[in-house]
């Protein structure tokens, strides 16, 4: 666990300064958004000037989070003197918002990725935390701020989405204790579960079906892989964000140790999502291709035609199982 003195150092940094730009990572997920919005809410409680920035538009499923409507694109940002990168393993994860980080007088990094390079003026990184939201919760406690329903909901979303609804191997006793405190603080766990895990559009189900149809197994069934082109996603009437979670269905096949899902995000550009059950370290696999993540969940970007990126992913997965 991150030493309390590191949490207290963030507390002092915030307490003694004003004007903060909070930066979420590209292709924002529940942890970076929930953590960033919770931190924004905390700074507002303290009457600090602050903004939350993301270089990508917020996916529709997160639009209802408290303060989500206030998130700015980098071109709309004030660009305050102090920048805080949230859940960004390296500077490239900030996308076009990196200029705001580079231009700040001082910078802080709050993250839980083991690949984090410690690129800030100050760094609070704990790979043992299930989500960056755990660190933001501990910061709120160090600051002595009362939880309200909005902040609690954002942090619960961060924990819930990065742990697969508290089912992944990164879920710890601390994770569940914090989740309990967030429920007591006003988060509606039932409604959040319905929204993020039990509510899908017909287009999302169609694109899932298309991906499942194309699953192939390799390495005596230990590797499962599927892919979707942009055209296939569009044929289902779906958007890119509707493919979220496809890789988990590949992982759920009983024999699969490494699951791979490749989706085309641009001409010849593929986003790879990786999952592992027990033996493999897909975080290391992704890092070797310029990506990152965790031992059991990671991703990277590949370039080339479909067959090339599929063959590359399979070759690396086979190596990871040796």
What are the boundaries of each domain within the chain?
Answer: 4-197, 202-320
The CATH fold assigned to 202-320 is Diaminopimelate Epimerase; Chain A, domain 1 (3.10.310)
Cα(259)–Cα(84) distance, integer angstroms? 33
Distance CA 176, CA 149 (A): 18
Cβ atoms within 10 A of the Cβ of 23, count? Answer: 31
pLDDT for 288? 87
For 4-197, the fitting CATH number among 1.10.3720.10, 3.40.50.2000, 3.90.1640.10, 3.40.50.720 is 3.90.1640.10
Q: Are 143 and 184 in contact (CB under 8 A)?
A: no
Q: What is the pLDDT of residue 30?
A: 97
Taking Cα atoms as reference points, which of 236, 240, 235, 238 lies closest to residue 273? 240
What pairing do the DSSP bridges indicate for beta strands 258-266 and 269-276? antiparallel
Helices (H) and strands (E) in the chain, counts: 12, 11
Residues 6+ apart with CB under 8 A from 133: 31, 34, 35, 38, 154, 155, 156, 157, 158, 159, 162, 178
Closest CA to 28 of 294, 321, 241: 241
CA distances from 233 to 135, 140, 204, 299 (A): 36, 41, 9, 19
- The low-confidence residues of the chain, meaning pLDDT below 70, are 1
DSSP strands (E only) in 112-185? 122-125
Decide the pairing of beta strands 223-228 and 50-53: unpaired
At residue 249's C-alpha, the angle toward residues 178 and 166, to 5°, is 10
What's the pLDDT at 1?
A: 67
CA distances to 47, 141, 276, 284, 296 from 320, rounded to whole Å, are: 49, 40, 10, 9, 12
Measured in Å, how far apart are the chain's first and last C-alpha atoms? Answer: 31
Neighbour count for residue 263 (Cβ, 10 Å): 23
66 phi/psi in degrees, rounded to 5:
-55, 130
Tokens of 259: 């699951």
According to DSSP, the β-strands at 82-86 and 106-111 are parallel
């Amino acid at each position: 666990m991150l030493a309390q003195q590191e949490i207290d150092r963030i507390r002092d940094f915030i307490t003694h300064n004003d004007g903060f730009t909070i930066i979420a990572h590209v292709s924002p997920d529940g942890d970076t958004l929930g953590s960033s919005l919770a931190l924004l809410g905390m700074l507002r409680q303290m009457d600090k000037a602050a903004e939350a920035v993301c270089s990508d538009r917020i996916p529709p499923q997160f639009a209802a989070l408290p303060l989500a409507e206030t998130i700015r694109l980098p071109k709309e940002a004030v660009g305050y003197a102090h920048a805080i990168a949230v859940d960004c393993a390296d500077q490239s994860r900030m996308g076009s918002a990196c200029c705001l980080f580079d231009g700040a007088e001082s910078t802080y990094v709050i993250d839980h990725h083991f690949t984090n390079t410690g690129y800030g003026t100050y760094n609070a990184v704990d790979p043992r935390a299930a989500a960056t939201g755990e660190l933001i919760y501990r910061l709120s406690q160090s600051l002595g701020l009362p939880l309200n329903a909005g902040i609690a909901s954002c942090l619960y979303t961060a924990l819930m989405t990065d742990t697969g609804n508290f089912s992944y191997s990164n879920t710890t006793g601390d994770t569940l204790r914090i989740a309990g405190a967030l429920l007591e603080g006003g988060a509606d766990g039932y409604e959040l579960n319905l929204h993020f895990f039990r509510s899908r559009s017909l287009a999302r189900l169609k694109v899932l079906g298309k991906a499942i149809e194309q699953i192939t197994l390799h390495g005596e069934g230990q590797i499962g892989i599927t892919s979707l082109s942009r055209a296939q996603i569009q044929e289902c009437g779906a958007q890119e964000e509707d493919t979220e979670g496809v890789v988990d269905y590949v992982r759920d096949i009983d024999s699969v140790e490494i699951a791979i899902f490749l989706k085309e995000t641009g001409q010849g550009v593929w986003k790879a999502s990786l999952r592992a059950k027990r033996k493999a370290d897909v975080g290391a696999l992704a890092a070797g291709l310029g990506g990152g993540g965790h031992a059991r969940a990671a991703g990277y970007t590949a370039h080339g035609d479909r067959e090339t990126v599929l063959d590359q992913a399979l070759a690396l997965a086979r190596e990871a199982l040796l």
